[in-house]
Chains A and B, each alone.
Chain A
């Protein structure tokens, strides 16, 4: 009996510990968002606007109606995938600044499979085959695109930050080329650099009739869970985290560090490719130039705000999606330029990155542990 009581107390003690830890983990991002919103409000006021009405508009536009909620989810979907991509790379000690390029490349490939495959095979494919093919193709393309800088990092030491930035430019140049010439929608009325519409059979349907929110959002939540499972419940995840925390120790523990680096980048690119793929197969039904506006950088902010934890990423992505979505209504009501959202997001990132500022501002106790995210160019 005594033993069991002891167990219960220790269990409740553990529970309290976990609760306190998660409280602590949540507190800083929460205060960072709050502080950034207040500072952003000051900027709005300084510029002659009314921050309260601006934020009311923002909130209304993001959550004020079922349609608004649906649009927020639409915005959050690519953010979740791209945020997970960056977060996963962080866990492996890699900085993937190239989500933008991987996303574009994934989108192009899945659009190609979406519109060209049925004609190529001369048969119409059932959705149950065509959708997985289009989505899988896009994922694979993103994975390959990211595996290149991964391999360069592992085998030559070329730093992934520069290489992924370069790969971004290469991807954007190549998509511009493809969408302007070989893959351009041949419809004589079309003047835009974009692919033809993908076949009906490659389209992911909306979740609810009459709303744009689609099954891709549900998939994003599922993938977030899978990433969590991968990182904390599998050997591969353990290896990724070990290499991220300490590559030397990982090497002594018998982990194939090089292989793990390539795999981590590939998985990260796979998630980024998924972001592009879902935009094509579930929302736009085609790929169009200039459809991705800075997802790569936003994804970094989301991953950091989410503390590189999948659940955190989902929450951060919904927050960012809500801000981007609500910005329309904010501008409609108050004529505050949408650029203010970028200012607020930068402030959030700043405050999350420099936890010390938040801890100083709100007199919080400092935590001892420090998460190593990246290292210098040398490796």
Chain B
């Protein structure tokens, strides 16, 4: 027994030493008026997903460097913690809280009502109350950051249809249950059909697994893209977190054209860069930053805030894209922006 106490004492001493080594946690006082704090709550997913959560977090980080904000994030491990995680920030006196993903929509709206002094940014959270007659359900301190995914998908679809030689193109996506993903996919289809109604399009959604896996299965994405290439597809669009990334890298490896999603993946997927034709853009980082900036300036908009979409430069493949294709792409982009061209993709899957 004596030995036991000795061991325990030793361990205690060891932990004291460890304590001395580390630094003190820096908890700035966000309750003070002059301290601007921004907190971010992720969906059930990780901050380092090289996609969705990470792009948004980069927007928050930009607020740290450009606006001198104190920034912090909390990762959600279980959907029952949404409300708790949001209130962790709100109770600590944070000024702006960013929640990422449509699944947090309800919890965010509820928190916005509960904490009227905090500005809430809901990424990908469509605010329906803005469009009804009823003004009693309006929430002044809540903005939904939404994107024209269908237009971005339409653009790269049109690009793919113009660049394919086999007249077969493919798209590998996360689950179609998530509207932004479905809109990318259907926009892609519409854009390709717009150029060539007879084109053969393989579109596969990874809806056969649970929700937690659908965006994080690069191996499946690669296998699916390879299967499309075996059927002669020569342009592959990968959309949907790491699953899509797997498709993009596999396509690049096989030497066909690859198209990325969300950010310009020329920079986030260096392995695929040499064969990356373009990316369907959904500019999360600037969208998030713009909203935080507006909140800091006191002109926070409520309701839906439309972020920017588009298509990324051709980078290494610039020389391979004919001038008339480039001109056509600019023409389509302009027509989509001024509304003279419609994608006809509904906001959610019917």
Contact = CB atoms under 8 A, between A and B. Distances in A.
Given A38-B14, A74-B80, A332-B88, A193 B21 contact: no
B7 interface: yes
B15 A38 contact: yes
Contacts of B102: 191-192
B78 A293 contact: yes
Contacts of A191: 102, 177-179, 348
Interface string A331-369: 111110110000000000000000000000111100000
A247 interface: no
Contacts of B204: none
A52 B211 contact: no
Nearest to B75: A338
B72 A71 contact: no
A329 B88 contact: yes
A45 interface: yes
Contacts of B211: 176, 193, 289-290
B198 interface: no
A20 B210 CA distance: 48
B139 interface: no
A268 B19 CA distance: 43
A332 B210 contact: no
A221 interface: no
B133 interface: no
Contacts of A327: 77
B325 interface: no
B44 interface: yes
User: Which of B11, B19, B88, B211 is packed against the most chain A CB atoms within 10 Å?
Assistant: B211
Interface stretch (B22-30, B55-63, B159-167, B188-196): B22-30
Contacts of B208: 173
A49 B22 CA distance: 6
Interface residues of B, number: 44
B134 interface: no
A331 B27 CA distance: 12
Interface residues of A, number: 46
A288 B43 CA distance: 14
Contacts of B84: 71, 328
Contact of B22 (A51, A57, A284): A51
A52 B210 contact: no
Contact of B177 (A192, A329, A362): A192
Interface in B1-45: 3-4, 7-8, 11, 14-15, 18-19, 21-25, 27, 44
A329 B207 CA distance: 34
Contact of B74 (A49, A53, A288, A332): A332
A324 interface: yes
A35 B12 CA distance: 11
A286 B291 CA distance: 32
Contact of A41 (B15, B73, B92): B15
Nearest to A193: B177
Contacts of A284: 79-80
B141 interface: no
B187 to A, nearest CB: 17
10 contacts: A41-B15, A45-B21, A51-B22, A180-B177, A193-B211, A290-B79, A290-B210, A327-B77, A331-B74, A334-B25
Interface of B: 3-4, 7-8, 11, 14-15, 18-19, 21-25, 27, 44, 72-75, 77-81, 84-85, 88-89, 92, 102-103, 126, 128, 177-179, 207-212, 348
